[in-house]
Amino acid sequence: MTMKGEVTLPVADGLYYEELGSPTGAPLIFSAGLGGSGSYWRANIDQTDQSLDFTEAHRVLLYDHRGTGRSNRALPPQVSVMDMADDMLAVMDATDVAKANLVGHAAGAAAALSLAIRHPDRVQTLILVNGWSRADPHFLRCFDARLALLRDSGPRAYLRAQPLFLYPPDWSSDHAERLAIEDEVHLTHFAGADVYEKRIAALAAFDVDDRLGDISVPTLVITAADDMLVPPKCGRHLAAHIPGAQLREMRWGGHACNVTDPETFNRIVLDFLRS
């Protein structure tokens, strides 16, 4: 991944991570969704507008989830969201971060939510993007369909269908060439069917709905009104049940709204952090 700023390429407990921005800035950790790669946040980090630049005032940490990207591909027989939260904590420990602002998208939001419940002393603020507190029937159906494609038709069919769940139709149409290139890159670095089976099973089993009232850190919930994968009502539920949480709903952008509209996304997150 090529991004502006000084980049280190270490590994913490088998987890690949990168550090950018101000070494003395407030720690800001980005955690990706099902795909797990830190490069998912490229559009948000590579901002030329200083007012939208996370690296100006923050010590930014990106990492690849265990089993994905450049991290250790070996996973135990069963994986839980608690394990994903522990991995985030491992990155914090390896970089001497006592307390961090967490930005999590989907699976990353579940991991950040789990971390905030179990270790509130390690979380400065919590930013949950298209996340949930327990499995929703709609996204379980979507996951079942994606796994069926992977099992029956293979990785290429799985990756070919992925944009249908992530992006608005107009955006996919306008970026068809880019998506075709990304398909080949993702195929080359595909984590394997076993990894996705285990990660999806962990997300399906995740349920902290009865613990939302225990969250004591400032929280921002971001949803996209046209999210095809995770119903926006899941985010609204989070905001309604986490004490003091703020809710911002992007009118457009799909499940990967931070990719399709990075300017609006960055502005929402930075306004929250600056407040």
Give the containing element (helix H, strand E) for 209: none
Give the span between the Cα atoms of 173 and 196, in whole angstroms. 26
Q: Is residue 177 part of a domain?
A: no
Q: What pLDDT, on the 0 to 100 scale, is given for residue 9?
A: 55
> How many independent structural domains does the chain possess?
1
Q: Determine the pLDDT at residue 40.
A: 97
Question: What is the amino acid identity at position 21?
Answer: G
Q: Given this model, what pLDDT does residue 8 score?
A: 47
CA-based end-to-end distance of the chain: 30
In a domain, 245, yes or no: yes
d(CA 168, CA 157): 19
Burial pattern 133-164, b for ≥16 Cβ within 10 A else e, equals bebbeebeebbeebbebbeeeebeebbbebbe
- Separation of CA 229 from chain center: 14
Q: Which amino acid is at 147?
A: L
Say what the pLDDT of residue 71 is.
96
pLDDT of residue 22: 93
Domain presence at residue 180: no
For residue 167, being part of any structural domain is answered with no
What are the pLDDT tens digits along the chain (275 aa)? 444 444 445 788 999 999 999 999 999 999 999 999 999 999 999 999 999 999 999 999 999 999 999 999 999 999 999 999 999 999 999 999 999 999 999 999 999 999 999 999 999 999 999 999 999 999 999 999 999 999 999 999 999 999 999 999 999 999 999 999 999 999 999 999 999 999 999 999 999 999 999 999 999 999 999 999 999 999 999 999 999 999 999 999 999 999 999 999 999 999 999 99
Asked if residue 36 is part of any domain, the answer here is yes
Residue 27 domain-assigned (yes or no): yes
CA distance 53 to 28: 12
Residue 84 lies in a domain: yes
The range of the structural domain enclosing residue 234 comes to: 11-136+206-274
The CATH number of the domain holding residue 65 is 3.40.50.1820
Six-digit token string for 102: 């967490």
pLDDT for 11 equals: 87
Strand ordering across the sheet containing 123-129: 11-12, 15-21, 58-63, 26-31, 100-105, 123-129, 219-224, 246-250
Q: What is the pLDDT of residue 10?
A: 76
8 Å CB contact between 106 and 130: yes
Q: Which residue type is seen at 161?
A: A
Asked if residue 236 belongs to a domain, the reply is: yes
92-97: long-range pairs with CB below 8 Å, 24+:
92/27, 92/29, 92/61, 92/122, 93/12, 94/10, 94/12, 94/13, 94/15, 94/17, 95/12, 95/17, 95/19, 95/27, 95/61, 97/27, 97/29, 97/59, 97/61
| DSSP element (H, E) containing 256 | none
Give how far Cα 102 sits from Cα of 76, 80, 204, 251, Å.
25, 19, 22, 23
C-alpha 24/C-alpha 133 separation (Å) is: 33
Compute CA distances 104 → 40, 110, 153, whole Å. 11, 7, 30
